[in-house]
Structure 1
Amino acid sequence: MANQEPPNPSYTVFDHFVLAQSCKDVQRYFAELCHHLEVDPQDYQTFYSKLKEKLNYWKAKALWVKLDKRAAHPDYQNGNVCAKNKCLVLGAGPCGLRTAIELALLGAQVVVLEKRESFARNNVLHLWPYTICDLRGLSAKKFYGKFCTGALDHISIRQLQLILLKVALLLGVEVHTGVEFRGLQEPSGNTGWTAKLHPESHPAGTFQFDVFISAGGGRYVPDGFKRKELRGKLAIGITANFINRRTAAEAQVAEISGVARIYNQKFFQDLLTETGIDLENIVYYKDDTHYFVMTAKKKSLLKKGVIKQDYSDAEQLLAASNVDREAMLRYAHDAARFSTGYQLPDMQFAQNHAGRPDVAMFDFTCMHRAENASIVRERRGKKLLIGLVGDCLVEPFWPLGTGIARGFLASLDTAWMVRSWGLGKAPLEVLAQRESVYQLLSQTTPENTCKNYSAYSINPTTRYNQIKLTSIQVNQVKHLYDVEDPRESNRPSQKQNNKPRMRRDSTGFDELLKWCQQHTGGYQGVKVKDLTQSWRSGLALCALIHNFRPHLIDMASLEESNTVHNNQLAFSVLESELGIPPVMSASDMATRGQIDKLSMVLYLTQVRNAFSKRTLPKEPQAPVTVYKPSAFSRTQSVVFFLNKLKHNSLQRRKEKLASRREAKQREMGDEEDQISSLSAPEVSPRPDPDPEPDLNCSSLTGNCEECYFCGQRVYVLERISTEGKFFHRSCFTCHQCGTTLRLGGYTFSQDTDF
């Protein structure tokens, strides 16, 4: 028999690239493939077409068909719409890579920076129907054959990153791992916007860009963005990953899409009786690992020795020093074994990125969201469009599975914004449209988005129902356009007003700083030099409180090194005594790289106003009720407004509660017919004609806030918060027409003062 022709080496390398299961291997095989085919990935404008032309391999052709179909969408204008734009994306998580892919399809030069050198996140994400369709359109099945096979609708974070990394590389995206981003470098001379990196000699440090997208997670938010915090009562989640050896015995074990105590009390009572473990819910998914997530009761964790000592502060309660890790491993192991009927053989923990058993415990009730999704910064005549995606835009509430679903929606929305930027639209128009779309994101569910998933594109009108791209007007986003020199701005009004306003602001800052220095002088370890870094340890804020209310703070007991405790103490006192909500979490205050100056000015101004408006007693007396100021001068209006709403909505709320109780009693009458899932992190409930279970978080935590209007418990999933109070959505209505109010969408009448 004649010798067969040896296989084409580029075909072999391509097969290795497709099957690669680590970030390093993907990058290595991609570099080899480019070398064999003699194509330059830095030639981003022609790279993809040259790669297709030279890799005439039947396995690759099926991939090209998928990507060509996507690239042919009219939104991209054949890759010409952003051909002159250069984009830097921070973070190679799923949202960062998904954004980079869209920017590459628009024709932009895209560079992605990632601090880590490996993808090691085992946790499993639940995928909404549209995300499954979206990933199939990007050839996810070609890179991961098990993608959403059968009834499976989930994937591990690591596998999702690998799929998106491969697609991004094929489209000409530069991805640099092991590179730490340390901030933006403003233009100077002939050099445009660049990034400060570590190591400083990295070639990406010379890359000049006009678009910066932060997908670096909740820990990094660029300057100019303000964040809001939503914190509920404590709910403790535990995630655990076990090695999946893919044996026949393991394959037989059924997944648990979600079991909640309120719908299957016998299961959780048997678990408690047999193991002493008291849970509110548990979920089990099978992917690269056996993945479990559960919500545990604090009392159970204390009794089992997982938590050593009880604290009211969540930061202290779940601090590493207060957690017995070995006891936590046993707790997760026993809960997983019981929930699977002891059918999983030889359960051994998978390893995390640090080489330790992949088990984590966290408080998932504190979430942040950015007040705005974009800004434009201009220095020396060079404009920079900055956008947020992923957790630094909106942190997900894990029982709803919103993280990856809304994360991908935000990526597509951001790509649409960059498209407008590339088309040369005025910066304020770009910002106004982006903020108009951002208003819809936090209310998005599988039920209220368009159902024609195959028609989804970066155009928001293909995805959101009843969207209005001009709901935010240009004059409402002027504060998001940051111009250093008004002479270089194309906004005539700023030429007249910018300098005087800056002088007034500077004077106001100086007065606030002097007031703070006056009332914190003389305290050991406290030296207020500015309105940001001087407050990081928490001592200055405690000293400010002690100066006016010495009986509330024991300064002698505070240690400068215990920053989280100091900040939490100060925040709690100011909120309970003066009604001033925290500017951020205590841990963020202590550890965040940069503290936003405007946020601190806002917070300290409220503190100064509260202390200055009344002479506070030096000894404990009757509680002083001071409500959160509205624009610092409308406390009475706010109180009157809330009381009028409360009076008008109380009767409606009573009627609704009565009907709810009747419906609930009927539901609880037949437990087996009411078993429903409360999903895991990144796990969304399946579409259900009766959404009531989603509006009840008693399976998350037994301790919920009370509605300010009706006095009944208000659970996390059905509440809104404004003016420092919590409300049922059905209670927060207009006193005239009964229509449910939107946050920021109500106003005070000039005639009636509300």
Structure 2
Amino acid sequence: LFDQFVNAVTCKSVFNTFHELCTVLGLQHVDHHNFYKCLKSRLTSWRAKSIWDKFDKRAAHRDYRGGAACADTRVLIIGAGPCGLRMAIEAAFLGAKTVVVEKRDRFSRNNVLHLWPFLITDLKNLGAKKFFGKFAAGAIDHISIRQLQCILLKVALLLGVEVHVNVGFSCLIEPPEDQTDHIGWRCKIDPENHPVSEYQFDVLVGADGKRNTLSGFTRKEFRGKLAIAITANFINKNTTAEASVEEISGVAFIFNQKFFTDLKDKTGIDLENIVYYKDETHYFVMTAKKQSLFAKGVLKEDYADTIQLLSRENVNQDALMAYAKEAANVSTNYQLPNLEFAVNHYGQADLAMFDFTSMFAAENSSRVVEKNGHKLLMGIVGDSLLEPFWPTGSGCARGFLGAFDTAWMIKNWAAGKMRPLEILAERESIFQLLSQTTPESLHKLHSHYSIDPNTRYPNLNTIRILKPSQVRHLYDGGDAKLLDEEIPSKRRKQGMVSFKTEMHIHSSNGLVDPYSLLRWCQKILNNNIYRHVHIIDFTTSWKSGLALCALIHAFKPDLINFNQLLESNPLHNNQLALTIAEKELGINPVMSADDIASSDIPDRLNMMAYLSQYYRVFRTEPVPLAPIVQTRSLSKDDKNTRSPKHRTSFLQKLKDKTFHKITHEEKLEEHQHIELTKYKKLPMDEIANKLTVTNKASTSYTPFSQKSKEEAQGAVSVNAMAEILAAKFRGDVPAQPVVKRLKGTPTLAAAQPNSEFCKFCAKRVYIMERMSAEGVFFHRGCLKCDFCGVILRLNNYTAEREPDGKF
């Protein structure tokens, strides 16, 4: 039964199988807090567990506070489109009781949505591949609206969201003046006797498209030069011939004038651009010129008013169908046999014509209404908030971003740590970014996106931050004096302050400024906990690889055993750090381990770019102060045991005279890092680690006299001698003595072939476009299948194990 639910492809079949599943398991939507827990405990098949793992990983994010962030909040969402359902999922993760109303009872929109890269990652993290195996397969970066709604509906139902179809929202019902029964905000719906009419809520979110039914959200129109768009969906019969037809991701006249000129000469069809996606239907979108439509008999009369020009009465539907079919055939070289129109929810051919240059955007994204002691937070998402410009494929992407931003607003509202006007000011400040957002302007670490705006927008510091007084008109009702009262400073620190500090720390390119990054690394690593780790720059301090391993160990001590690492093996240390960071933390390398270990001076810019990824991952984590856990401390019996430590005591004495006098406490700390047994059972790897004299004092030396210079040089010799002696104890070949380098004018290090050049095209690959897989670096577009030439994704490829293996 669960498999039937997972494989359901229509709205009706999803609801039917889900209700049957709940009946068999004895589950009811009574307690939304425990619904998912009970469902997970009773469904234990391997397929169900794979989905629970996805949900649990998302729910474990700190923003949700284990589902307690909005535990006492009740949310009503109008519309079960992609953005409304995505909004409901976030509200469920926050722990809010969430109800969705949808006036339709089926998903019938065949149009195909272009998916920005972060959308693919986000949907995969929600288990989209479990519900729809073809999702984002290969180079596919699109999905039909109907299929996307099915996926999100299944996720919402499993998380305990109540979704009611054939229920339309009419208007709000204010709380009564008589508050004896403490009745809050409700809504009038159609049908009036539906149980949702008795539902009281604290938050109302409108996601019902451009025909927004919520009052208080003024919309403004953006209009450009007339451009008439035609969308057409043809039945995909999934034949071999259809599968071989290449998609058209977007062809514009300015880039391929010959294509459109030939099309006009052959058929009389004059287009400005055309897009073709192959999904559940063959989906075509094209921009037609008005004179061409008149010439082909599609438009009957010419009117100055666009609405009257494109009205159904002024359009010859048969001519429009012939126009779209002929354009589809010519653009695909007649490779799609016997094109037949798909059917829309009206039972008619799925064909539409509209003026896409007329777009609407809301002037505000949120507001608060207070009546008779009850506050209602209102927001809008999706097309209600910002109508998309279809050639950029921005509709779904900006819709999801708006849903995340609204969820962040709801979280702050429920926390009570910010004044209502501060919450509105923050939401409206972030809303300014939405219309300017592109895939390139977002953070590249998509796996770390959350409802926190700082994880998604790198340019928060560039927006105009609104003051609470500037959004006073968005608060309807309430006492003005109470609105201006200050929240206690201790509570405010946990609210809006974090947003502001993050806004000015990040620069426009997503990298933290060098000074803040260096200070952050020093604060974590320069604490005498990690041997041979002392950060003074972005180059030589990281060459041995110990610092990178220490940075990971500081926050994730279970991932690395720092005690087993040797300073004399920088290649191994760097490779270990890069591998663990990529697999466990999602931090992509910008250099190879060999680049860092073999170069005299590692590239500063590359290292800063790489460390900034650690900063974005760990910046909100508390600074770790716990020392490295050791196996056991030194016993009294061990003090009298003869060991190589005694034989090298003259080295320790020399070190003491050279640098500083070791206090009694420091000696005890040093002994705690050593495990001594009888000579025959000596832990040689650990002894080798501890014998190496630390160079922290030499790196932190302040400007000095000739005598101190000689002492520093002597310390280098001691360090080298200790390495040689440790190697003798292990029976290894003696380590090479340290080579002293004279100070002079720094020189620019030569470009490293492993990371500076693309493996496939052998051209220079700059740091901002550099990607890596299987230890090699390349341009995004150069990672292609060696057999068919299709562009591959980093999360969906296989590679042969040979040194020059094929992808």
Quickly name the TM-score band, shorter chain normalised: 0.5 to 0.7
In the comparison of the two structures, how many residue pairs are matched? 484
SS of corresponding position for 2:441 = coil
In structure 1, distance between residues paired with 2:780 and 2:79:
32
Question: Which of structures 1 and 2 has the bigger CA Rg?
Answer: 2
Are residues 408 and 346 of structure 1, via their aligned partners in 2, closer, same or farther at CA, if it must alter by over 3 Å? same
Alpha-carbon distance, 1:489 to partner = 5.2
Alpha-carbon distance, 1:491 to partner = 4.6
Q: Tell me, yes or no, if structure 1 residue 72 matches structure 2 residue 66.
A: no
Alpha-carbon distance, 1:240 to partner = 0.4
Determine the structure 1 residue equivalent to 2:126. Answer: 138
SS of corresponding position for 1:245 = coil
Determine the structure 2 residue equivalent to 1:176. Answer: 164
Match of 2:392 among 387, 400, 409: 400
Determine the structure 1 residue equivalent to 2:238. Answer: 246
- Residue type matched to 1:459 in 2? D
In structure 1, distance between residues paired with 2:347 and 2:114:
25
SS of corresponding position for 2:276 = strand
- Residue type matched to 2:196 in 1? A
Determine the structure 2 residue equivalent to 1:354. Answer: 346
Match of 2:432 among 425, 428, 439: 439
In structure 1, distance between residues paired with 2:301 and 2:168:
37
Q: How does 1:272-421 map to 2 (within 5 A)?
A: 272-421=264-413
- Given that 1:428 and 1:481 are in contact with CA atoms closer than 8 Å, whether structure 2 keeps it comes out as yes
In structure 1, distance between residues paired with 2:347 and 2:168:
21
Determine the structure 1 residue equivalent to 2:175. Answer: 187
Residues 680-709 of structure 1 deviation map (CA, whole Å, 9 limit, x = unaligned): xxxxxx999xxxxxxxxxxxxxxxxxxxxx
- Residue type matched to 1:438 in 2? F
Determine the structure 1 residue equivalent to 2:41. Answer: 53
Determine the structure 2 residue equivalent to 1:31. Answer: 19
Match of 2:442 among 444, 449, 472: 449
- Given that 1:42 and 1:174 are in contact with CA atoms closer than 8 Å, whether structure 2 keeps it comes out as no
In structure 2, distance between residues paired with 1:258 and 1:445:
17
- Residue type matched to 1:121 in 2? R
In structure 1, distance between residues paired with 2:255 and 2:422:
49
Determine the structure 2 residue equivalent to 1:7. Answer: none
Q: How does 1:50-199 map to 2 (within 5 A)?
A: 50-188=38-176, 189=178, 190-199=182-191
Q: Tell me, yes or no, if structure 1 residue 263 matches structure 2 residue 251.
A: no
SS of corresponding position for 2:412 = helix
Residues 717-746 of structure 1 deviation map (CA, whole Å, 9 limit, x = unaligned): xxxxxxxxxxxxxxxxxxxxxxxxxxxxxx
Q: Tell me, yes or no, if structure 1 residue 465 matches structure 2 residue 458.
A: yes
In structure 2, distance between residues paired with 1:491 and 1:215:
31
Identify the range of structure 1 (169-178 vs 187-196) with the bigger mean alpha-carbon deviation.
187-196
Determine the structure 2 residue equivalent to 1:229. Answer: 221
- Residue type matched to 2:70 in 1? C
In structure 2, distance between residues paired with 1:490 and 1:75:
26
Residues 619-660 of structure 1 deviation map (CA, whole Å, 9 limit, x = unaligned): xxxxxxxxxxxxxxxxxxxxxxxxxxxxxxxxxxxxxxxxxx
Alpha-carbon distance, 1:41 to partner = 2.6
- Given that 2:110 and 2:281 are in contact with CA atoms closer than 8 Å, whether structure 1 keeps it comes out as yes
- Residue type matched to 1:85 in 2? T
Alpha-carbon distance, 1:474 to partner = 1.1
SS of corresponding position for 1:176 = strand
Alpha-carbon distance, 1:226 to partner = 1.6
Unaligned runs of 5+ in 1: 1-12, 494-685, 689-754
- Residue type matched to 1:234 in 2? L
- Given that 2:299 and 2:316 are in contact with CA atoms closer than 8 Å, whether structure 1 keeps it comes out as yes
In structure 2, distance between residues paired with 1:133 and 1:39:
31
Alpha-carbon distance, 1:405 to partner = 0.7
Are residues 492 and 50 of structure 1, via their aligned partners in 2, closer, same or farther at CA, if it must alter by over 3 Å? closer
- Given that 2:113 and 2:145 are in contact with CA atoms closer than 8 Å, whether structure 1 keeps it comes out as yes
Alpha-carbon distance, 1:486 to partner = 3.7
Alpha-carbon distance, 1:23 to partner = 0.6
In structure 1, distance between residues paired with 2:215 and 2:43:
44
- Given that 2:298 and 2:320 are in contact with CA atoms closer than 8 Å, whether structure 1 keeps it comes out as yes
Alpha-carbon distance, 1:227 to partner = 1.4
User: Moved runs in structure 1, 4+ residues, more than 3 A?
Assistant: 485-493
Unaligned runs of 5+ in 2: 487-778, 782-807
In structure 1, distance between residues paired with 2:174 and 2:237:
51
- Given that 1:253 and 1:344 are in contact with CA atoms closer than 8 Å, whether structure 2 keeps it comes out as yes
SS of corresponding position for 1:386 = strand
- Given that 2:420 and 2:483 are in contact with CA atoms closer than 8 Å, whether structure 1 keeps it comes out as no
Match of 1:481 among 475, 483, 495: 475
In structure 2, distance between residues paired with 1:310 and 1:131:
41
- Given that 1:94 and 1:164 are in contact with CA atoms closer than 8 Å, whether structure 2 keeps it comes out as yes
- Residue type matched to 1:161 in 2? Q
Alpha-carbon distance, 1:492 to partner = 7.2
Identity %: 59
In structure 2, distance between residues paired with 1:428 and 1:268:
53
Alpha-carbon distance, 1:217 to partner = 0.7
Between 1 and 2, higher relative CO (CA 8 Å, sep ≥ 6) is seen in: 1
Determine the structure 2 residue equivalent to 1:672. Answer: none
Alpha-carbon distance, 1:268 to partner = 1.3
In structure 1, distance between residues paired with 2:342 and 2:215:
38
- Given that 2:209 and 2:382 are in contact with CA atoms closer than 8 Å, whether structure 1 keeps it comes out as yes
- Given that 1:181 and 1:196 are in contact with CA atoms closer than 8 Å, whether structure 2 keeps it comes out as yes
In structure 2, distance between residues paired with 1:437 and 1:70:
23
In structure 2, distance between residues paired with 1:277 and 1:228:
33
